[in-house]
């Protein structure tokens, strides 16, 4: 039997219209109804808004969580099951839901509070660097205060995070093929998120994490575990810690994964995996049409 991993994308993968085609499915309509009671607004309405409300962080994180959870549920309803799960940043919450660590409503409440707290942290900057010398980059980060490696996405793509001055200083002192400022409100996945993370911890403390049904690769510790308490500890440091996606991809071969399915809109993670992992087949489930028969 093919050993399969499911991966869930995070903020940046959202797009207008995502999840709207799922609404007629009974599993989806029930989840959308449950989500509206928690959020106070309709996920399909926000996703279908032509003024791109779905790209406002307060909406982006909850809508991605809901849509990706529904897609995963529809996969499981068609007798598909993962042997391993992982999510990029926000996507880790979907991975934990799919692994049975907490229920849908609990995960959504956590994501909603996470979005609210992260949106209060302003003044930072994030920048994607593509095509660079890693040794040179690490040296510059070490020598520059107030900047960290936020997303270690692959050998050729990272995101740095910190004060605008520090981010610009690092980018100007290394050679890159491309440097792109991200349209975000704060320095996510950095120590600048510490006040928000501390407040979020009080919410997290009140939630019980069950042991996972399948191993989970966490952003801050990309080694597989099913231990609920350990997964909770890893999630505690996610807001201020680096997303170690490059190391998560390395685990696929170490765990003998043969197929990776990206469950969610777009192909951001699939494209990273395609370049980094030879011999692994890829699938993508982002719409009703993509679902297996």
Phi then psi for residue 182, to 5 deg, are -90, 145
Regarding the domain delimited by 125-181, which CATH topology (the fold level of the hierarchy) does it fall under?
Alpha-Beta Plaits (3.30.70)
What is the chain's mean pLDDT, rounded?
96
Report the predicted TM-score, pTM, of the whole model to 2 decimal places: 0.96
- The CATH number of the domain covering residues in 4-120+190-290: 3.40.366.10
Q: How far apart are CA 173 and CA 147, in angstroms?
A: 13
The pLDDT of residue 183: 81
* Span(s) in the chain for CATH 3.40.366.10: 4-120+190-290
Residue 1 has pLDDT above 80, yes or no: no
Query: In degrees, to the nearest 5, what angle opens at C-alpha 53 toward C-alphas 62 and 244?
Result: 45
Please tell me the number of Cα atoms within 13 Å of 189 on its side-chain side.
27
Q: What is the pLDDT of residues 218-255, one digit of tens each?
A: 999 999 999 999 999 999 999 999 999 999 999 999 99
Residue 270 has pLDDT above 90, yes or no: yes
* Span(s) in the chain for CATH 3.30.70.250: 125-181
The pLDDT of residue 185: 76
Average pLDDT over residues 178-201: 92
Q: What is the pLDDT of residues 10-41, one digit of tens each?
A: 998 999 999 999 999 999 999 999 999 999 99
Sheet with 259-263, strands from edge to edge, namely: 216-217, 84-87, 4-8, 259-263, 281-285
Only one residue has tokens 């999840």, namely 19
Phi then psi for residue 139, to 5 deg, are -65, -45
Active site residues: 89, 189
What is the band of 184 on the pLDDT scale with cuts at 50, 70, 90?
confident
What is the band of 109 on the pLDDT scale with cuts at 50, 70, 90?
very high
């Amino acid at each position: 039997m093919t050993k399969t991993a499911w991966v869930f994308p995070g903020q940046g993968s959202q797009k207008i219209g995502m999840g709207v085609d799922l609404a007629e499915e009974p599993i989806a309509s029930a989840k959308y109804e449950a989500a509206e009671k928690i959020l106070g607004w309709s996920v399909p309405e926000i996703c279908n808004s032509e003024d791109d409300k779905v790209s406002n962080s307060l909406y982006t994180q909850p809508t991605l969580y809901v849509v990706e959870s529904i897609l995963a549920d529809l996969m499981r309803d068609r007798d598909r099951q993962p042997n391993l799960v992982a999510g990029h940043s926000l996507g880790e919450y979907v991975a934990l839901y799919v692994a049975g660590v907490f229920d849908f409503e609990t995960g959504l409440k956590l994501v909603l509070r996470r979005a609210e707290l992260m949106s209060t942290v302003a003044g930072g900057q994030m920048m994607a660097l593509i095509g660079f010398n890693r040794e040179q980059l690490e040296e510059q980060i070490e020598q520059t205060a107030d900047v960290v490696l936020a997303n270690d996405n692959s050998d050729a793509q990272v995101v740095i995070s910190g004060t605008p001055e520090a981010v610009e200083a690092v980018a100007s002192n290394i050679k890159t093929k491309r440097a792109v400022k991200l349209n975000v409100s704060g320095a996510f996945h950095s120590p600048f998120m510490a006040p928000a993370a501390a407040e979020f911890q009080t919410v997290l403390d009140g939630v019980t994490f069950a042991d996972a049904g399948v191993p989970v690769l966490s952003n801050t510790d990309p080694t597989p575990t099913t231990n609920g308490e350990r997964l909770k500890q890893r999630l505690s440091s996610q807001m201020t810690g680096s997303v170690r996606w490059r190391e998560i991809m390395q685990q696929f071969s170490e765990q003998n994964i043969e197929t990776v399915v990206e469950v969610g809109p777009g192909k951001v993670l699939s494209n990273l995996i395609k370049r980094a992992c030879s011999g692994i087949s890829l699938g993508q489930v982002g719409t009703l049409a993509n679902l297996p028969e």
